[in-house]
Amino acid sequence: MPKFADSLRAWGTPDFNHILKNDIEQLDASQLPLQQGLSIGSYALDNKLDVIVIGAAEKEDHIRAKVGIFYTSIIAGCSCADDPTPVDENNEYCVMQIDIDPVTAEAALILLTD
């Protein structure tokens, strides 16, 4: 589980959205549910993440943020020498909920489907 200590320290300040965005963009794709959020491609890439913070609020036992993530994917072929499938990148978008524990700074990232 990733830790967002910088975001936690910035909670309640005007810099929170920017710092949260930066924390998310620094994560490896394996730490984000990007693969589950695919709508076009078959393999999520993490080379072009762009995050927007939709909203954030303090709940009883955590800080909850809703973010939109723009990223890219590819349609993976068989990787054969004569594979006619082009390796073009596709634009993807998904929405995630992030719950940050105010004691440990651990962040749970959940893909929102609706």
Q: What is the pLDDT of residues 13-40, one digit of tens each?
A: 999 999 999 999 999 878 999 999 999 9
What is the model's pLDDT at position 46?
79
What pTM, to 2 d.p., does this model score?
0.86
Task: Please say whether the beta carbons of 70 and 97 come within 8 A.
Answer: no
- Is residue 78 scored above 70 in pLDDT? no
Task: Count the Cβ atoms, other than its own, within 10 Å of residue 94.
Answer: 20
Task: Give every strand in the sheet of 89-100, ordered side by side.
Answer: 43-58, 63-74, 89-100, 107-112
- pLDDT value at residue 83: 63
Q: Classify the phi-psi angles of 105: left when phi > 0, otherwise alpha if psi is within -120 to 50, otherwise beta.
A: left
Average confidence (pLDDT) over 90-111 = 97
Q: Please, which residues have CB within 8 angstroms of residue 22's CB and are 6 or more apart in sequence?
A: 6
Read off the pLDDT of each residue in 76-89 and give the average, rounded to a whole number: 69
Task: State the Cα–Cα distance between residues 28 and 105, nearest whole angstrom.
Answer: 18
H or E element that contains 25: helix 16-25
